[in-house]
Structure 1
């Protein structure tokens, strides 16, 4: 009798598991049914253009009056990049621009977040004001800064002349144009980093700070020993987002400097645009775009690997 009861219980458990499996399968089918249109749309607007760009970069592209045709597989487009001084300069400039702007934005954004996190009143109003630069479309922001930097009727030009500092040319020389473009980018995107860091600060455990205060730790020690280590995952997210945006910078230099003077502010995205749509050379232009994509992916993967290794060492210690 006991054996029969045991068999019945096993059968009931199997029935329940089978019912759960059928229910889970049904839920999965419903989920796929609702998500399929979105996945198809993402594939059309993201995956397909990337795949087509790779195909263009590996093909001999023949441009005719009726369009263009892919004629055969080749690595010559990438060979042209390697031997092109313009591509090498665009690569160096893009990397330099990304490193400098992201580093400054992370430092300034963290400082602003620390100040706002301590505010007890008007924090919401201050965050709303902080987000105003980020909410402006980059093209509009670039037009605004172009008016500020303009050499004849610009705002900065009038200020410098009124205080007797002469008439500096902000966009006329390579060095000043690069610095001016970086300032415009930092002004716009530092609030983005600050908001992400504020979100991380709010999530930090308060009991750790209470324990540190009871032990007599100074504010500087608390920041370096507690706040900054706990904020590393949040800062890593901000860095990743900003690297992805900064490495593909296009609209700011396109409007502000046009890639000039000369090729001083020509990023990889600007170079790809000029080669494809001004020189009508689709193969090398697509190769520039693909090379930029591969480099930023490799850079992000390397950053994540280093960050994961550092976090693992801290956990072991």
Structure 2
């Protein structure tokens, strides 16, 4: 008895010859309602997490850039979450968000706000994932935005001050236009990273409750490693890569057009 028959027997699959299915895997994926639901979940997660990280990261960077003392210490403290492993972050927040013993619910209970089932309800599970990812990766946006803010020439602000320009005018006409292209690059990196999210989902919710937090990457894992359907999982991976390539090319064209303008 060889290795291959034993493997098929252990998995419960009948042994048979391989055959080429052409594009059946791709058509089945594109027509699947389950895939559409996972794609919508992934889209909500990516848009929510990246938008929140961009706003918070730029706001923190802007406040730090205006300080003259303690800037290095503040930057280092804010960078700590980004240096942690996603598995460690997931376990850390899983204990904090526990409905019975978590410190978050303990704080809410002390304020008289009651307990919230953060990871076991569909309405709050995806929000919890967005919050945890924002906590870890907002420093990335902050770091890039801070680099752009410190690179803005000081004489522009001095000239605007001589003309008695307001702080809002300086921000709208000097700060934001010069930092915006660099900030868009950071958004691109974070969007690609969030699109392939797997580790936090695996640690915090395992795709639940139900399939409310099952992203495309986690669904590929279930199809390939739990369902042993490697052909469909490979088609998933190729389609996801193609989506990232197409969206990245469109995004880079927008950046080049912005740079020319």
Shift of 1:206: 1.4
In the alignment, which residue of structure 2 is the partner of 1:255? 203
Q: Distance in 1 between matches of 2:259 and 2:94?
A: 43
Partner of 1:291: 239
Listed as ranges, the gaps of 5+ residues in structure 1 are 1-62
The correspondence for 1:278, drawn from 223, 226, 235, is: 226
SS of 1:204's equivalent in the other structure is: coil
**What's the CA shift for 1:310?**
3.4
Equivalenced residues, count: 251
- 1:193 match: 141
- Corresponding position of 1:154: 102
C-alpha distance in 1 between matches for 2:115 and 2:45: 26
Tell me the TM-score normalized by structure 1. 0.76
Which of 98, 108, 127 aligns to 1:179? It is: 127
Render the CA deviation track for 1:39-68: whole Å, top value 9, x for unaligned: xxxxxxxxxxxxxxxxxxxxxxxx964589
Find the counterpart in structure 1 of residue 12 from structure 2.
none
Match of 2:11 in 1: none
Higher fraction of strand: 1
Residue 211 of structure 1: how far off its partner (Å) = 1.2
Question: Aligned partners of 2:180 and 2:249: how far apart in 1?
Answer: 16
Counterpart secondary structure, 2:19: strand
Q: Deviations over 1:147-198 (max 9, x none)?
A: 1111111111211222222221111111200101100000110011000111
Root mean square deviation, CA, Å: 1.7
- 1:249 Cα deviation (Å)? 0.5
- Greater radius of gyration (CA): 1
Mapping of residues 1-317 of structure 1, within 5 Å: 65-66=6-7, 71-72=19-20, 74-312=22-260, 315=261
Contact 1:268-1:289 within 8 A present in 2 as well: no
Q: Which runs of 5+ in 2 are unaligned?
A: 9-14
